[in-house]
């Protein structure tokens, strides 16, 4: 008989070795499958014991499938009455297409028609189709102009073991066959046969790596938990052969109960420990894993006579640089040990300081990945480590990162003293002090509930800098900074900047794990509740409370470089006489509006094109006790709105206009806004909205910005450069962070 065991792409060689180990004859790896020969007992054994196969198919025939009629004719010649018992239900599972058969549902329909017509002609009774729980599954797989027709002996995929219930959505699961492949790539079967094997599992998913490893040590067949098989309703099923295999598997499991193994787990993600323990219980395994630190796990593996390090890095999604850095720092401590790593890139090579002996290319989800096996060796390069304040030591990918660690520790200490003296809780700690470590690091401290968060932004490296080296330096920054500043890695937000015509813009942003909403808070000034959106936190500045959010793909909600500018607005508002009206243009989250209201503004107008930003601004105002019709929020294109207001009687005593460097939003009336090109027209328009004696603050972030003073003077507008007075101490290294001017009518 001819059989095919299907598998994920890249598993073919591993599956072939597994089948050979089961005593399967005539094994031949193909693309996405492994063919083998023998009898039904060999196929049943593969169903019961294979950890890597997805399905086991009994090949009945290969028929012409150049079009629908040919497929129907070929299937009609097969003796389906010998495979479907009277009353048995069936379903057709179709895969593949060709030029004429371009829809798998249509292929399944034509195949079903052929089977139904054949049996109806033979028996005079029409067989039943059951798409949800059929007795027999007929597989039709197209390859070019031919179709392979088979009986699916497994029924549902073999990787559905029964224990993988995915109990906690916070922990990314690893499918059991991928967990088994991770172990197989590292030679766990050989390790498991020795005395007292130790598995050091780094990020064990929801426990699938632990279950697959423990079952191998205890000699438990992975198929023992299954209650339904595809061959059970097939007319050709050999019940005696199957029962003999079950009896043998039960005997082996009983004998294997005396075997011992240690499962040492490194996984600090919330929910990981209970998910792993639940998977082991669901699999019926009386094995208790130990959750330890990376250093403790490495010590356990080094002291064992037989050990394997199994590391799954696929849970780190693209852009989650903080998680990647923390993971690689932990992995670095296992250098020199036998390790099997499932990862989307070669970053593990740098962490383990050696090249893998072999790499098996696989697909995880839709992404290319690799099973990387590292042989045990005593010749691995000495680890590059950094000593941090307090005696902690962290592994790094670039030896020179110790300079960054020393510099960060020094400036953090000085900045913390300054912050305490100035009563500042959110500030910039580091700003590209070392050219090779060109990042900006900002620290935020919670106001109502304890919490510390880091926002790290990488400046785009100059052309000519090795991209991989720059990436490793960034990962070292992300491993060092949270430890120096006392912040959990999960509370680090990362953004990577790329240069554009208007200055620096954010091209990519790492996201911290999503947090549950903490609900609203009772406002200290006014009764009532202001809801705090999911993933948001509250911070204090200048005696006011603001909402920040590091999860979403936008700025966190407050620009720290404008701390002094906001304070200036409050003082200017206090000195303002008359109507005390304040206008905030390009208002974002309305922080300047809060300062103006705190300075005594009787009426505020907050204008922005973004509805979410205005909702955010409204929450900020309400939290600080500023509600009512005297505080209005306008969603509009600022440029067009300013022009419209010039033709009304509306005027303001103080205006703040913090413009974007460049904008081409589809909702703008003009095609685009460029601050260097268009600032004069905007400033003139803003000046016309001022009351007699009123003033405005105009600011922008274009580093080489030059105001067109001649054009402004001709329009009767005067500018006073106050940039130096608005740069906070923590931004003193980069005094071009913004430009600020007081605007008045001559």
Q: How does DSSP assign 383-450, residue by residue?
A: PPEEE-TTS-EEE-SSTTHHHHHHHHHHHHHHHHHHHHHHT-SEEEEEESSSTTS-EEEEEEEBSSS-
* 66, part of any domain: yes
Q: What is the DSSP string of 326-338?
A: HHHHHHGGGTTS-
CA distances from 509 to 28, 134, 278, 538, 678 (A): 46, 47, 34, 21, 29
- Cβ neighbours of residue 195 closer than 8 Å, sequence gap 6 or more: 305, 306
Please tell me the number of Cα atoms within 13 Å of 606 on its side-chain side: 31
Residues 356, 451 within the same domain: no
Q: What's the CATH code of the domain at 60? A: 3.30.2130.30
CATH of the domain at 684: 3.40.50.150
Q: Are residues 8 and 126 in the same domain?
A: yes
**What are the residue ranges of helices labelled H in 30-125?**
40-49, 68-76, 104-123
Cα gap 243→51, rounded to integer Å = 20
Alpha helices in 444-523 (DSSP H): 467-485
- Asked if residue 564 and residue 501 are part of one domain, the reply reads no
**pLDDT the model gives residue 552:** 58
Domain CATH code at residue 450: 3.30.750.80
Rounded alpha-carbon distances, angstroms, from residue 687 to 188, 571, 690, 691, 709: 75, 20, 6, 9, 14
CB-CB contact of 314 with 336 (8 Å): no
Q: Examine the domain organization and report whether 96 and 200 are in the same domain.
A: no
Helix H or strand E encompassing 370 = strand 367-374
Give the closest residue to 659 by CA, choosing from 709, 611, 608: 608
Number of helices and strands in the chain (H, E):
21, 35
Q: Tell me if 166 is assigned to some domain.
A: no
pTM attached to this predicted model: 0.77
Tally Cβ neighbours within 10 Å of residue 335: 20
* Residue at a domain's end among 374, 406, 428: 374
Residue 657 to residue 326: CA distance in whole angstroms: 40
| Final residue belonging to a domain, choices 452, 487, 510 | 510
Q: Do both 631 and 503 map to the same domain? A: no
Q: What is the pLDDT of residue 669?
A: 64
Whether 541 maps to a domain, the answer reads: no
Quote the pLDDT of residue 112.
96
Which phi and psi (to 5°) does residue 472 adopt?
A: -65, -40
User: Which of 196, 214, 227 minimizes the C-alpha distance to 253?
Assistant: 214
- Domain boundary residue among 137, 152, 167? 152
CA dist 285 → 250, 255, 498, 614 (Å): 14, 14, 51, 55
Looking at the domain assignment, is residue 248 inside a domain?
no
Residues 134 and 197 placed together within one structural domain of the fold:
no
Q: Which domain holds residue 714?
A: 559-745
Is residue 319 assigned to a domain? yes
Could you report the average pLDDT of every consecutive run of 10 residues in the chain (746 residues)? 96 97 96 96 97 97 96 96 94 94 95 96 92 94 95 95 74 93 96 92 92 96 92 95 97 93 92 92 93 94 94 87 86 92 91 92 93 89 78 84 94 96 96 93 91 91 82 91 90 71 37 33 46 91 95 82 97 94 97 98 96 96 96 95 95 96 69 87 96 96 93 96 96 91 94
Let me know if residue 547 belongs to a domain. no
Burial-class residue 204 by CB neighbours within 10 Å (0-12, 13-18, 19+): buried
- Report the candidate in 712, 707, 662 with the shortest Cα–Cα distance to residue 685: 712
- Specify if 281 maps to a domain: yes
The pLDDT score that the predictor gives to residue 57 is: 97
Give the per-residue SS3 of 180-195. HHHHHHCCHHHHHCCC
The answer to whether residue 519 sits within a structural domain is no
Does residue 189 share a domain with residue 139? no
Residues 370 and 402 both lie in one domain? no
Same domain for 35 and 127: yes
What CA–CA distance (Å, rounded) separates 369 from 31? 17
Burial of residue 389 (CB within 10 Å: 0-12, 13-18, 19+) is middle
The C-alpha atoms of residue 582 and residue 600 are separated, in whole angstroms, by 10
Q: What is the pLDDT of residue 320?
A: 79
Q: How many domains does the chain have?
A: 4
For residues 381 and 354, the answer to whether their CB atoms sit within 8 Å is yes
Residues 417 and 352 occupy one common structural domain: no
Verify that 104 and 58 share a domain, yes or no: yes
Give the CB-side neighbour count of residue 385, counting CA atoms within 13 A.
Answer: 14
- Judgement on whether residues 715 and 591 belong to the same structural domain of the protein: yes
In the block, residue with structure tokens 């080489």: 704
> Which neighbouring-strand residues pair with 446?
539
């Amino acid at each position: 008989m001819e059989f095919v065991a299907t598998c994920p792409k890249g598993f073919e060689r591993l599956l072939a070795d597994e089948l050979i180990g089961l005593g399967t004859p005539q094994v031949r790896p193909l693309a996405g499958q492994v063919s083998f020969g023998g009898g039904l007992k060999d196929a049943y054994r593969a169903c019961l014991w294979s950890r890597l196969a997805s399905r086991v198919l009994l090949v009945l025939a290969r028929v012409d499938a150049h079009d629908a009629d040919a497929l129907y004719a070929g299937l009609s010649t097969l003796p389906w009455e010998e495979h479907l018992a009277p009353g048995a239900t069936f379903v057709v599972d179709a895969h593949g297409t060709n030029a004429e058969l371009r829809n798998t549902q249509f292929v399944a329909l034509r195949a079903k028609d052929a089977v139904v017509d054949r049996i109806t002609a033979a028996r005079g009774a029409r067989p039943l189709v059951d798409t949800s729980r059929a007795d027999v599954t007929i597989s039709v797989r197209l390859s070019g102009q031919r179709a392979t027709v088979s009986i699916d002996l497994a029924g549902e995929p073999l990787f559905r073991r029964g224990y993988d219930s995915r109990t906690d959505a916070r922990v990314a699961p690893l499918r059991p066959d991928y967990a088994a492949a991770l172990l197989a790539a590292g030679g766990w079967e050989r390790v498991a046969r020795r005395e007292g094997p130790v598995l050091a599992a780094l990020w064990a998913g929801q426990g699938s790596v632990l279950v697959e490893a423990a079952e191998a040590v205890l000699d438990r067949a992975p198929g023992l938990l299954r209650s339904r098989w595809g061959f059970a309703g097939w007319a050709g099923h050999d019940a005696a052969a199957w029962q003999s295999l079950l009896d043998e598997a039960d005997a082996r499991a009983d004998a294997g109960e005396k075997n011992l193994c240690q499962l040492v787990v490194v996984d600090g993600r919330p929910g990981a420990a209970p998910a792993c323990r639940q998977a082991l219980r669901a699999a019926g395994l009386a094995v208790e894993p130990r959750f330890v630190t990376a250093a403790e796990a490495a010590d356990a593996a080094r002291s064992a006579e037989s050990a394997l390090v199994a590391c799954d890095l696929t849970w780190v999604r693209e852009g989650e640089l903080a998680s990647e850095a923390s993971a690689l720092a932990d992995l670095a401590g296992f250098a020199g040990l036998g390790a099997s790593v499932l990862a989307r890139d070669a970053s593990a090579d740098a962490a383990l300081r050696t090249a893998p002996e072999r790499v098996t290319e696989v697909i995880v989800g839709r992404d290319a990945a690799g099973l990387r096996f590292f042989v045990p060796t005593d010749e691995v390069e000495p680890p590059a480590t950094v000593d941090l304040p307090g005696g902690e030591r962290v592994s790094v990918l670039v030896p020179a990162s110790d300079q960054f660690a020393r510099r960060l520790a020094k400036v953090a200490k000085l900045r913390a003293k300054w912050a305490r003296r100035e009563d500042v809780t959110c500030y910039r700690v580091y700003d590209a002090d070392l050219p090779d470590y060109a990042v900006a690091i900002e620290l935020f401290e919670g106001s109502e509930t304890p919490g510390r968060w880091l926002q790290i932004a990488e400046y785009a490296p100059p052309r000519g800098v090795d991209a991989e080296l720059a990436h490793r330096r960034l990962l070292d920054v992300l491993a060092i900074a949270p430890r120096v500043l006392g912040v959990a890695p999960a509370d680090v937000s990362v953004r990577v900047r790329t240069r554009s015509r208007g200055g620096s813009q954010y091209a990519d942003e790492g996201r911290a794990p999503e947090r549950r909403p903490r609900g609203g808070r009772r406002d200290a000034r006014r009764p009532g509740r202001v809801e705090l959106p999911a993933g948001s936190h509250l911070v204090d500045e200048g005696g006011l409370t603001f909402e920040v959010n590091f999860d979403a793909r936008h700025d966190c909600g407050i620009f720290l470089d404008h701390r002094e500018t906001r304070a200036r607005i409050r003082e200017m508002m206090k000195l303002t006489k008359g109507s005390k009206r304040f206008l905030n243009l390009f208002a974002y989250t309305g922080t300047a509006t809060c300062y103006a209201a705190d300075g005594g503004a009787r009426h505020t107008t907050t204008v922005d094109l973004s509805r979410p930003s205005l909702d955010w601004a409204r929450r900020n105002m309400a939290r600080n006790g500023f509600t009512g019709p005297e505080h209005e929020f306008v969603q509009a294109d600022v440029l067009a709105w300013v022009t419209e207001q010039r033709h009304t009687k509306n005027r303001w005593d103080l205006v703040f206009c913090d413009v974007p460097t460049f904008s081409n939003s589809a909702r703008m009336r003009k095609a685009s806004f460029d601050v260097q090109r268009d600032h004069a027209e905007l400033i003139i328009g803003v000046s016309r909205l001022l009351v007699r004696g009123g003033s405005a603050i105009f600011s922008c972030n274009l580093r080489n910005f030059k105001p067109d003073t001649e054009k402004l003077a001709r329009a009767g507008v005067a500018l006073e450069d106050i940039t130096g007075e608005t740069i906070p101490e923590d931004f003193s290294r980069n005094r071009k962070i913004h430009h600020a001017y007081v605007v008045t009518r001559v």
